[in-house]
Every structure is written in C-alpha cells, then in structure tokens.
Amino acid sequence: MKRIVLFAMTNIAVLALIGLISYVFGLDRWLAARHMNIAMLLVISAIFGFAGSFISLAISKWMAKMAYSIQVIEKPQTQDEEWLYRTVERLSRDAGISMPEIGYYESPEANAFATGPSRNSALVAVSTGLLQQMNHREVEAVLAHEVGHITNGDMVTMTLLQGVLNTFVGFFSRLIGMAIDNAMRRDNDRGGLGMGYMLGYFVSSIVLGLFAMVIQMAYSRQREFAADAMAAKLTDRESMIAALARLKSVMENGGVFDNSAPSMNTFKISHPESFMALFSSHPPLEKRIEALRKLKS
C-alpha cells in the first residue's frame, strides 16, 4: 500500500504544481486566446499527465526514504541485517534482476513495500513491526512478494496507467472548466480565462480523479495476485500462504495491531465488499490465500 500512496501523493503534488505554474504564467490563457482545438488540448493534457507520472517514478526511492526515514542496509551490522540483505540478494538473483536496495523503518505496522524507477534500480523496505511479528520463513515470502513487484515491472506499468488517467482527467477537466467559464461570462467580458475556469477545472479534477483512482486501485489489486504468484515461485506456495495467514490472524485476534491502523485498513478484511473496497490497493487476504491455493504446484 505504501508504495501506491507515495506514488499517488507525489503524482498529485507534481500535477498540482504544474497546474499552478501553468495558470500563474498564463499558459492556459495563452492557449485559449489562440483558440486551441481538441487535439491540441489533448496533447497538452498528455504532456502534463505523463510528466507528473514520470517525475513521481523518478523520485520514488528518494521520496520513500525521506517519508519513512528508511535505514538502508549498505553493510550489514547485525545478524538480522545480514539475513535481510542476503535473503533479498538471493531472491533478486533467482528472479533475474539487479540487487535492489534493502532497508527497514520503525513502525508497529506489519508492512513491506517496493518502489523504484526500474527493475534494476529499486528499493525494498520492511517495517520493524513485520520483522517482530513474522518468522524468517514468512518474512522471506513477503520479501519475495516485493521482489515479485519489481520483477513484474509493476511501478513502471502503474506509471503508464497513471499517465493515461492523468491525461484524460486533465483533458476533461479543462473542457469542463472552459464550459463553466463560458457559461459565467457576460457579453462585455474580455477574452481569456476567468475564475469560472479555475473553479470548474479544480472541482472536476477532484471528482474525475476519484474515478481514475478506482481504476488505478483495481489494477493494483490484480498486480497483488501476480506478486503473490511470483513469491510462491521464488519460495514456495505454503510460505506465502503462511505469511498472509499470520497477518490475518494478527488482525482478527487483536495482537499488537488493530483494524484502525493505516496498513490494516488497506486490506479491507472487515468489510471486503464495502464501497470503500473500490479504493483499496490490496484484495482481501482471504481472496489472496484462495488464489494461492488454486495455483498449480
């Protein structure tokens, strides 16, 4: 979940900054004054949309390290660090990718995530809560799951999907903004874009952005199944099932975590069929376990 949140929030921030710069320096007004057509508007939206996504991808590792104060293991100092480092090294070698950076961060949540601009320039991070709550076999399966995300190129494909979604959100938001501005305009108003455009643009960006997020999260849920399958291949199916079952047990039996913890809410175990499940980046744990059991041995 954390890699998705980081990517989405960075992407939104970059898009907001691009939009603000565009408005302040009058790019939208300049285009409107030159009677830009639909094709031109779509091209501009695509430039802005993909720029936000690729900038987010490029700085994803840096953002993760800063946001979670991740301690990157360069030279293992303890037995636990040595085990983490060697396990990721072996998994990445078996998966046919370059060794990603490996680190940990202080958090009571049982969590791990992978991020980075490419298969050969990635970061795998685990929480101290995960290391405390799971045994080596289960942690290895979780690490294999994250290596699976890297091997499958999920961050890159998510970037491309986000770029397409950004393009259409920006395109239709600008059209809606212009329509509202035109409806609010008086006969004696001068040309150019007014406050009606800004109001319509930002409100429609938020509304359409929510619809785009539903699509993005649906894709993310499917990639979780693929990463689970990769983890089963790199380790074994029963280890990945055991890791998911351990997390499910912790949640249901009230261990050190509770259902209000951010990382737990993303799994939607309590209300797997609720409307908010549309905005979850992970499928319910029961469905992931069921999918693993159906894999051919």
- Which residues are catalytically annotated? 146
Is the Cβ–Cβ distance between 283 and 247 less than 8 Å? no
- Residue 185's SS3 state is coil
What is the Cα–Cα distance from 139 to 132, expressed in whole angstroms? 10
Give the residue from 61, 67, 59, 56 showing the smallest Cα distance to 14. Answer: 56
Return the residue matching tokens 């045994």.
135
> What's the Cα-to-Cα distance from 265 to each of 28, 44, 217, 284, rounded to whole Å?
39, 37, 14, 10
Nearest to 145 by CA among 8, 248, 237, 283: 237
Q: Which helix (H) or strand (E) holds 107?
A: none
Query: In 3-state terms, what secondary structure has residue 135?
Result: coil
- Measure the CA–CA gap between 72 and 30, rounded to whole angstroms: 47
Q: What are phi and psi of 113, to 5 degrees?
A: -155, 160
Q: Could you say which DSSP state residue 294 is in?
A: T
Distance (Å, rounded) from C-alpha 100 to C-alpha 111? 18
- What's the rounded Cα separation, in Å, for the pair 200 and 195? 8
Q: Are 201 and 177 in contact (CB under 8 A)?
A: yes
Residue 93 sits at φ, ψ, to 5 deg, of: -65, -45
Q: How far apart (Å, rounded) are the C-alpha atoms in residues 203 and 29?
A: 19
